[in-house]
Amino acid sequence: MTMNATIKDVAKVAGVSFKTVSRVINNESTVSEALQVKVRQAIQELNYKPNLSARGLRGSTSSIGFLYDNPNSNYVIDMQKGIFKECQASGYELLIHPCESDHVSLEDEIIEMISRSTVGGLILTPPVSDNIALVKKLAKKQIKFVRIVSGSAPPDEFGPFVLIDDRQAAYEISTHLIELGHKDLVFMCGDAQHKSNTERLNGFLQALANRGLNVKDENILSGNFSFDSGVLRTNQLLARGSALPSAIFACNDEIAAGCLFAARAAGIDVPTTLSIAGFEDSPYSRQTWPYLTTAKQHNVDIAKIATKMLIKEIKSPTQKPQDNQVFCPELLVRDSTTEF
């Protein structure tokens, strides 16, 4: 009996209706705490396992979709870890859907994916979360979603959001470099389609402007969020023939690690001759020598909060709009930066 227990068996042991059992399984807030305890004890006693596929066939939802298009594998892994932990705690499956955020048929692709699955809502991460055409289509179809975006304030009305204040964090990193005496600084950009790239650049520029410093146009280098991009652009700096800048602020840790690699290969001492800072506190920041000064971005926690918000949206569709959550990455000063 234990292996084949049904929802009606649980209801009988708990002394409640099977609808009450269903509400407890779905974590609905309408069931009293006392009844929840009874039902969960019966579930444990009978080793009852909800049939998620059957729930999906009856029109309910049993999974959450994670959409991403991001070159940073560490970011994707952290997001997946945080979303999965919250799904597991709430009885949801996790459906992972990599995609191309700028693909012409992305909207149709996502709608089709949802129609053939039991997905009840979506976690949208950058740059997918910045695709306003997709967001509008999802909203029109009344598909639940939570967006993780860069910015201290919502970019539009299509929420709820988890906001990452990249600009403030970049401002703090840049201010740290300036206070160490650096005046000739280089900023190495990431992928242009990521709003975080723009926000971090703006934080850098604001810090310099507040200290009365100018940055040369040639010291803002375009590229992408990769180790190879950091190597390439550092070598380009070295090939200029002019004086080397005293500090580099790279848009993420992978770029910064590439900068450090190229500098060390050229015999340049870091940080005595050249200070280097990154962003995100990815494993790259701790796999280099010296360890990288960076901004710690709590991606697992961010993903868990976004998933909690989404589950709340799914279960209580008529509730008032949720408050947006704001995270600001924290400055971590390590050995890759020093006084100039």
Lowest average pLDDT, out of 56-65, 149-158, 215-224, 278-287, goes to 56-65
Q: Rounded to an integer, what distance in angstroms lies between the CA atom of residue 131 and that of residue 67?
A: 12
- Could you tell me which residues come within 8 angstroms of residue 226 by beta carbon, excluding any fewer than 6 positions away? 71, 254, 255, 258
Q: How confident is the model at residue 318 (pLDDT cuts 50, 70, 90)?
A: low
How many other C-beta atoms lie within 10 A of the C-beta of residue 280?
A: 27
| More reliable by pLDDT, 114 or 284 | 284
Q: What is the identity of the amino acid at 334?
A: R
* Phi/psi-derived region of residue 281, left when phi > 0, alpha when psi is between -120 and 50, beta in every other case: left
Q: Rounded to an integer, what distance in angstroms lies between the CA atom of residue 134 and that of residue 312?
A: 22
Per-residue pLDDT at 278: 98
Per-residue pLDDT at 59: 44
Per-residue pLDDT at 307: 97
Q: Rounded to an integer, what distance in angstroms lies between the CA atom of residue 264 and that of residue 289?
A: 10
| More reliable by pLDDT, 113 or 187 | 187
Per-residue pLDDT at 147: 97
Average pLDDT of the segment spanning 143-170:
95
Q: Rounded to an integer, what distance in angstroms lies between the CA atom of residue 258 and that of residue 300?
A: 25
Name the nearest CA neighbour of 146 among 171, 120, 166, 170: 120
pTM, two decimal places? 0.81
Whether residue 251 contacts residue 189, with contact meaning beta carbons closer than 8 Å, is answered with yes
**Tokens found for residue 25:** 């399984």
State what percent of residues in the chain have pLDDT above 70: 94
Q: Rounded to an integer, what distance in angstroms lies between the CA atom of residue 230 and that of residue 186?
A: 12
Any idea what the Cα angle at residue 186 is, between residues 180 and 188, rounded to 5°? 125
| Half-sphere exposure of residue 288: CA atoms within 13 angstroms, side-chain side | 31
Is 112 a residue whose pLDDT tops 90? no
**DSSP letters for 256-308:** HHHHHHHHHHTT--TTTT-EEE-SB--GGGGSSSSPPBEEE--HHHHHHHHHH
- For the chain, domains (ranges, CATH) are 7-50 (1.10.260.40), 63-165+299-330 (3.40.50.2300), 167-296 (3.40.50.2300)
**DSSP letters for 16-82:** S-HHHHHHHHTT-TTS-HHHHHHHHHHHHHHT----HHHHHHTT---EEEEEE--S-HHHHHHHHHH
Span 248-273, pLDDT tens digits: 999 999 999 999 999 999 999 999 99
Span 20-78, pLDDT tens digits: 887 777 666 678 888 888 888 888 888 887 654 444 444 456 899 999 998 788 999 99
Sign of the Cα pseudo-torsion (291, 293, 296, 297, in order): negative
Q: Rounded to an integer, what distance in angstroms lies between the CA atom of residue 37 and that of residue 21?
A: 11
